[in-house]
Structure 1
Amino acid sequence: MAVYIEQYKNDYKQEIEKLIVEDSFVRKDIIATLDLFPQYGLVIKAESEVLAVGAFTGADKKSSMTLYVKPARRGKGIGTKLLKALENNMRNAGVEEIVCDFKDNKSEKMFLYKNGYKSWFYSSYMVYTGDKVSLDDCGITNYDDKDYYKCQKILSEAFHKMRLFVGIKSTLSVQSEKQKNYYRENSENIFVLREDNNIVAVTILEDNEIDGVAVRIDMQGKGYGKKIVSYSVNKLLDRGFKNIGLWVVKGNPARFLYEKLGFKSERMHEFVTKSIR
């Protein structure tokens, strides 16, 4: 049976949701990527059946890629065909480095390694399912556009320090108008913790996840991390979410804080990269 590649269409969404049956986490991730970047999605079909789907997250120099192949059709070259097509589209869009992650397992590891991807780091997805956390009034307010430069500095320096600590090559991220505009547009999901009118911690929420949290590096170890993570948990519970997630890089000591607050590890992912310049 001949297989062929097509551009993703919204008409395929329900079929793709039914295709990815064994892992709801992967299904949610791929559907979310296709909803945001439908123009960067591809499907592989045989007659009228969708056998595989993949997408990437935009035309930046570094972009994330995800793909899925129907289990019964794996090991027959379909995944490789789709991967090469995605890489070609990414290269044409100006992408220079691809990032991909997967639940740690031998088959996906060997597939990506064989196709030139190299291990970058491991990260655990942790989930909180408890009640609201006890928290005193602690000076946390919504992000304001004037806070951008201080917040970006806190996030950049804290993540840079963490990456170096766990052995990941790192450089400080730079400020940009694109990021500033993104923060402005999502200000209802960004919160800052102030001490004596100075910002000491930042948290960014996305759907049911704590997408990023950081404490100013000279103020770490003083309880600010616990305060702003607790606030994030309560905020998401108030929004009606029952399961709250976050990622923590393997070796990051912040994991102990999350565990004390009631987060439990649900899955371990390996993150890999590939240069396509």
Structure 2
Amino acid sequence: MNITVREMSDTDYNKAWELINFEDADAEFLLAFKNKEEDFYYVFDDDQLVGIIELIIDKDAFLYIFISPAFRNKGIGLIALKLCEEKLYKNSVKKITTTYRIDNLQSKVFANKFGYTRKFSSAYMKYTGNRFDIPEQLIRNYRGKDYDSAHEMYAKAFHEMRVSVGDFPDSIIERPSENMRKYWAETANERFLYIHDDIIVGYAHIDEDEIGSVSVRTEHQGQGIGRNFVKYICNKILDKGNDEVSLYCVVGNKARRLYDSLGFQEVYIAEYATKSVIYK
């Protein structure tokens, strides 16, 4: 057995869809891979493609190792983990986050064995019904000049959600940045704002068939705005020709009741775990 981790090439990318069984892969990982994001590597045993890795190198790094089912229980995942961690240590990372589906007990045990401790969990959910009938709403696309007020509302709402869940003791309100302002502008067609009394009270972001985020200003929650906003976003996704709408909902988030009531079904729970890196 000769396990190597290599950077992605177009040839390997096309080969991966033919050779890798993605049946129990995490949906977020699959979406990033489908979009050919830059942070992917391939796991080879000699010249045999056996797995894919998402590796984001930063002070707070991210690592997701997916070994095709036919090649599991052979020690390949362990070797790939060691190779990836060595690469991260050389870049002086301080923390590594990983994720796994809790319906795959083997993955959870593997992560825990090598020092990764649960941080929080998130339910991956899907809606496969018809378009919603909703009254006309004052919802429009995001524009660059909206950034300051939209980001402020979004950041505060998600901080309050994280605090309410209880799994994020170190949560802080995300600060605006020029890089984020630029990114939002570049993806403005994926972002929507809910306007009430001439102010932004809701923000949503979609990525293909996935609702990336939905937030409603705290003082406007409980007024049906979130329900109508989610219905509107679902219709937008379905109108693009998608057969379903997907999303992740942090376990403990009170918005789960809304998604359940609209017909979303839980597919699996993804657990996120972290490992702090201490250098001697």
The answer to whether the superposition gives a TM-score over 0.5 is yes
Indicate how the Cα distance of structure 1 residues 266 and 65 shifts in structure 2: closer, same or farther if over 3 A, else same. Answer: same
Q: Does 1:4 align with 2:4?
A: yes
Whole-Å separation in 1 of the counterparts to 2:194 and 2:208: 21
Q: Which amino acid aligns with 1:64?
A: F
Displacement, 1:165? 1.1
Q: Which amino acid aligns with 1:198?
A: I
Q: Secondary structure at the match of 1:180?
A: helix
> Pairwise mapping of residues 72-221 of structure 1 onto structure 2 (< 5 A)?
72-93=70-91, 95-104=93-102, 105-169=104-168, 170-221=171-222
Q: How far apart in 1 are the matches of 2:59 and 2:3? A: 31
Instruction: Give the letter aligned to residue 80 of structure 1.
Output: L
Distance 1:62 1:131, change over 3 A: same
Task: Structure 2 unaligned segments of length 5 or more: list them.
Answer: none
Counterpart-to-counterpart distance in 1, 2:17 and 2:124:
22
Q: Is the 8 A contact 1:37 1:55 kept in 2?
A: no
Q: Is the 8 A contact 2:191 2:205 kept in 1?
A: yes
Looking at secondary structure, tell me which structure has more helix per residue. Answer: 1
| Deviation digits for residues 179-202 of structure 1 (CA, Å, limit 9, x no counterpart) | 111100000010000111000010
2:275 — aligned with what? 274
Q: Which amino acid aligns with 1:111?
A: F
Q: Secondary structure at the match of 2:194?
A: strand
Residue type at the aligned position of 2:124:
Y
Q: Could you tell me which amino acid in structure 2 is paired with residue 18 of structure 1?
A: E
For 2:197, the aligned partner's letter is D
Matched-pair contact (CA < 8 Å) for 1:42–1:86? no
Match of 1:45 in 2: 44
What's the TM-score, normalizing by structure 2?
0.90
- Structure 2 counterpart of 1:19, which letter? L
Aligned length: 275
Deviates more, 1:263-272 or 1:62-71: 62-71
Distance apart, 1:56 and its partner CA: 1.9
2:240 equivalent in structure 1: 239
Displacement after TM superposition at 1:7 (Å) = 2.7
SS at match of 2:184: helix
Extract unaligned runs of 5+ from structure 1.
none
What are the superposed Cα offsets for residues 12-62 of structure 1, whole Å, 9 maximum, x if unpaired?
113322333251654883473375444x433232332112221224x4433
Q: Distance in 1 between matches of 2:226 and 2:31?
A: 32
Residue 65 in structure 1 maps to residue 63 in structure 2: yes
How far apart in 2 are the matches of 1:63 and 1:37? 16
- Using the size of structure 1 for normalisation, the TM-score is 0.91
Q: Distance in 2 between matches of 1:130 and 1:223?
A: 20
CA distance in structure 2 between the partners assigned to 1:8 and 1:209 by the alignment: 25
Letter in 2 for 1:100: T
The letter for the 2-side match of 1:223 is G
Sort the Cα spacing of 1:233 and 1:25 in 2 relative to 1 into closer, same or farther, 3 A.
farther
8 Å CA contact retained: 1:43, 1:52: yes
Q: CA deviation at 1:262?
A: 1.4
- Residues 41 and 189 of structure 1, relative CA distance in 2, 3 Å threshold: closer
SS at match of 1:232: helix
